[in-house]
Amino acid sequence: MNTITLPDELAITSKLSLKIYNYKTTEEISKQQVLLNKNTFSFLQEGTKKVFFDDSTFTINNDQFLLMKSGNCLMTEKLSDVKEYYRSILLFFSNDDVLKFIRKYELNPPESKTYYSTYSFSYDSFIKKFAESLLDLSELPKEFQSRILDAKFEEIMLYLIEIRGVDFLYSIINSNINHNQKFIQTIETNHLNKLTIKELSFLCNMSESKFKREFKKYFKSSPSKWFQEKRLKHAAFLLKNKAVRPSDIFLEVGYETLSNFIQAFKMKFGQTPKQYQSN
């Protein structure tokens, strides 16, 4: 699957830094490689969305919306069972927009230094009306949009700060994480997600061959062996602590068939999943 670049590949004619797009589709996508050139609010209206980033994974329905930092991610979009389409109102903005906002309101960094690439928020009546107002604004002539868009951007940021603090703001502009930290973080965050080497390489912004070399360097193992170890250990935890059946979890831990899972589990632990669970 090819990589798409947003918002570049959307039919947005505006040259403004802040951009609105009413995205609607009747086609589902699975783990689409996406390069976000701008930070993005995705105000989900219909369907479900799942995103994979270097440090977080979120699945949301139309009770929630996302704030996503610019960079590489994987996106899955599923249609609404009721309306049979997927729809999201997108608001794109730059780091400069955020810095200008921080300076204007003289906001101080949070005490916490834990930053993420993605934040999930729940809708309330205010935010639902805000998302609808973006659609109304997008219908106005472009020359009228600039100042109003600036005000709308400040509106949503001020509201979210009130309910969530400033952590998400500083996460957007944070660039202190180094290459080694980001690589390790991406692997450890996604170790139970069934991502291919190609998909993980994309999240790390490197070629597959470089990804494999870096993986061997930091984890002293091949990716396939390391991920299998992690998933089998997770399966063992579920069997012992969650009282699940092997048939309920083999897909979750990355196996196409129950028999392949049982065989791999026995090779790792010296007994079948059922035997392990009963001991």
pLDDT for 28 equals: 96
- Residue 149, pLDDT > 80, answer yes
Let me know whether 135 and 13 are in one domain: yes
CATH number at residue 232: 1.10.10.60
Let me know whether 254 and 165 are in one domain: no
Predicted TM-score (pTM) of the model is 0.89
- Residue 175, pLDDT > 80, answer no
Mean pLDDT for the stretch of residues 12-27? 90
- The answer to whether the Cα torsion of 30, 36, 42, 46 is positive or negative is negative
Mean pLDDT for the stretch of residues 169-175? 90
Let me know whether 24 and 132 are in one domain: yes
Let me know whether 192 and 117 are in one domain: no
pLDDT for 11 equals: 82
Let me know whether 75 and 104 are in one domain: yes
pLDDT for 77 equals: 97
Mean pLDDT for the stretch of residues 25-45? 97
Let me know whether 57 and 32 are in one domain: yes
C-alpha distance from residue 95 to each of 51, 59, 85, 151 (Å): 21, 25, 32, 16
pLDDT for 178 equals: 79
Q: Which domain holds residue 65?
A: 4-173
State the Rg of the chain over Cα.
21
pLDDT for 74 equals: 98
CATH number at residue 152: 2.60.120.810
Mean pLDDT for the stretch of residues 260-265? 94
Between 108 and 111, name the one with better pLDDT: 108
Closest CA to 62 of 75, 79, 76, 40: 79
pLDDT for 138 equals: 84
Indicate the residue type of 133.
S
Reported confidence tier of residue 1, pLDDT bands at 50, 70, 90? low
User: For the chain, what is the domain count?
Assistant: 2
pLDDT above 70 coverage of the chain, percent: 100
Let me know whether 147 and 199 are in one domain: no
Per the prediction, the chain carries an average pLDDT of 93
Q: Using CA atoms, how far apart are residues 232 and 206, in angstroms rounded to an integer? A: 27
Query: In the numeric block, which tokens belong to residue 84?
Result: 């049979």
Reported confidence tier of residue 94, pLDDT bands at 50, 70, 90? very high
Mean pLDDT for the stretch of residues 38-56? 96
